[in-house]
Amino acid sequence: MPETRPLSYSSLRVYLECPLRWKFLYVDRLPEAPRSYFSFGRTIHAVLEELLRPFLVTDSVPRISAGAAQRRLDEWEAGGRLVEGRPRALTRDEMLATYDRLWVREGFSSAEEEGRYRTLGENLLLRYYDRLVDEPPRPVAIEEHLQASLDGIPVHGYIDRIDLTPSGALEVLDYKTSREMSAKDAFSSDQLAMYQVLVEKNYALPVERLTLYHLRSLTPYASKPRDARAIGQFSEKVSAVADGVREERFEPTPGRVCERCEFRALCPEFREVPADERARLETLVDRFAALRREQGRVEDQLHAAADELHREAERLGVHRIRGHGLTALRRREEAWSFPVEGVRPLLEEHGLVPQASRLDDREIDRLARDPTVDPAVRRAIRSRGGRQVRWFWEVDAAPPDD
């Protein structure tokens, strides 16, 4: 059932982009279309996993959870040999052979595109290898699956890498194979917020850094761990998605994601009317469009007539003007607006805040009219507000008495 399944960062993102797409993927379990960039990313992640495994330093790292099993290479769809114990570091040639073995072929539009990605990956890995030799990391986990509860909502994720920092804390890293990246991406990344939560709830060491590692440029974009307020905001987002899933709110939400959505043929936003219904519905649409145009024209004329009546009423000092059988009646409507921060201290001082269901113009105006409130306080509330007067016209079907 959707409500019991833990949310991952990617499912969170899918729901926020389009709840209907979430339903297709996670309730109907329709397969996601293979994409060249997904296949490329999976291959690179799988090679890095094998490349970094010998560097693991797990012994001295205290954990809160029992520790989920490390993701095994044979869990990658591409397959891969299992590594028993702690293998020695791969040589360059072994790494390239691993790259060949783990290469994920699906999703490429042509052999030419696949070749371009393949060369890109090879160059990237060779440069990464050099960096690894110069600056060997101290990972305590690679591709680890972690689960946690965030304000009662189960969440989970595969963490690319968790490193031990020189100060004995943890750095959470996520690899990115995308073309472009900036430091801003790391500061605003919900994915890193999710991973921070997962790591903090599974490890006894503090998180010192959250890093998006841009592989094409070998640039680590590091950010500080999110503070309690930022985690609170992220938790609200997770909670909103969990509520949406539980209440089965799966409205299509068209946007940029539609360009690459594989479910357009199933989506009411894009599904075409059957051919045998088209002619009839075309006529209906044309009629509707003509009426909308007419409605706009009539509304313009109504406004112009009301303005003219208003000017005449002002000039003659009257509020009713007779027509042939009907009477136009001039009505007055008053609306108040209040600066909430300007009024709040006054309401607090007189213990009126609990009497308002919320501090908005309507509720404050109600308090200013409430006969149980001290008249001096009501006047003080009014003095902080601003009044707008609106005139409008009604038509009385009954002719007035002579």
Amino acid at 85: G
Contact 208, 223 (CB under 8 A): no
- To ligand SF4, the closest distance from the beta carbon of 146 in angstroms equals 29
Find all residues with CB under 8 Å of 209, minimum gap 6, and list them: 165, 171, 172, 222, 223, 224, 225
**How many CA atoms does the CB half-sphere of 73 hold within 13 Å?**
21
Q: CB-wise, 264 or 319, nearer to ligand SF4?
A: 264
Among 253, 327, 337, 355, binds ligand SF4 (CB under 6 A): 253
Min dist. Cβ of residue 252 to ligand SF4 (A): 4
Contacting ligand SF4 (CB under 6 A), which of 269, 277, 286, 300?
269
Which range, of 71-79, 170-178, 247-255, 337-345, touches ligand SF4 by CB under 6 A? 247-255
Site for ligand SF4 contains 271 (CB under 6 A) = no
Q: Judge whether 77 and 32 are in contact, CB under 8 Å.
A: no
Distance of alpha carbon 349 from alpha carbon 280, whole angstroms:
66
Amino acid at 200: E
Q: Which of 230, 258, 346, 359 binds ligand SF4 (CB under 6 A)?
A: 258
Query: Binder to ligand SF4 among 131, 151, 246, 270 (CB under 6 A)?
Result: 270
Decide if residue 257 touches ligand SF4 (CB under 6 A). yes
**DSSP label of 250:** -
User: Burial code of 79-88, b = ≥16 C-beta within 10 A, e = fewer?
Assistant: ebeeeeeeee
Q: Does 73 bind ligand SF4 (CB under 6 A)?
A: no
Question: Can you tell me which of 267, 309, 321, 359 binds ligand SF4, judged by CB under 6 A?
Answer: 267
Contact letters for ligand SF4, residues 196-235 (x by CB under 6 A): ----------------------------------------
Compute the distance between CA of residue 26 and CA of residue 156 in angstroms, rounded to an integer: 15
Site for ligand SF4 in 15-44 (CB under 6 A): 18, 20-21
* Alpha carbons 309 and 324: distance in angstroms, whole number: 15
- Residues near 28 by beta carbon (within 8 Å), at least 6 away in sequence: none
Residue 12 or 261 with smaller CB distance to ligand SF4: 261
Using the minimum distance from each CB to ligand SF4, give the nearer residue, 22 or 40: 22
Q: What are phi and psi of 320, to 5 degrees?
A: -140, 140
Cβ contacts of residue 322 below 8 Å, gap of 6+? 328, 399, 400
Q: Are 167 and 208 in contact (CB under 8 A)?
A: yes
* Residue 191 neighbours by CB distance under 10 Å: 20
Tell me the C-alpha distance between 338 and 361, whole Å: 6
Nearer to ligand SF4 by C-beta: 33 or 133? 33
- Stretch of 222-230, 266-274, 325-333, 355-363 lying at the interface with ligand SF4 (CB under 6 A): 266-274
Q: What angle do CA 398, 399, 401 make, to 5 degrees?
A: 115
Number of residues that bind ligand SF4 (CB under 6 A): 14
* Closest to ligand SF4 by CB, 256 or 390: 256
The residue range among 71-79, 137-145, 170-178, 265-273 that interacts with ligand SF4, by the rule CB under 6 A, is 265-273
Residue number with CB closer to ligand SF4 (18 or 197): 18
Residue 384 backbone phi and psi in degrees, to 5: -90, -10
**C-beta of 21: minimal distance to ligand SF4 in Å?**
4
Minimum Å gap between C-beta 224 and ligand SF4 is 34
Q: Which stretch binds ligand SF4 (CB under 6 A): 64-72, 112-120, 217-225, 251-259?
A: 251-259
Nearest distance from C-beta of residue 274 to ligand SF4, angstroms: 19
Q: What kind and span of H or E run contains 321?
A: strand 320-322
HSE-up of 9 (CA within 13 Å, CB side)?
A: 17
Residues 172/159, Cβ–Cβ less than 8 Å = yes
Nearer to ligand SF4, 18 or 46 (CB): 18
Pick the closer one to ligand SF4 by CB: 192 or 261: 261
Residues 315-334 touching ligand SF4, rule: CB under 6 A, are: none
In the complex, which residues of this chain contact ligand SF4 (CB under 6 A)? 18, 20-21, 252-254, 257-258, 261, 263-264, 267, 269-270
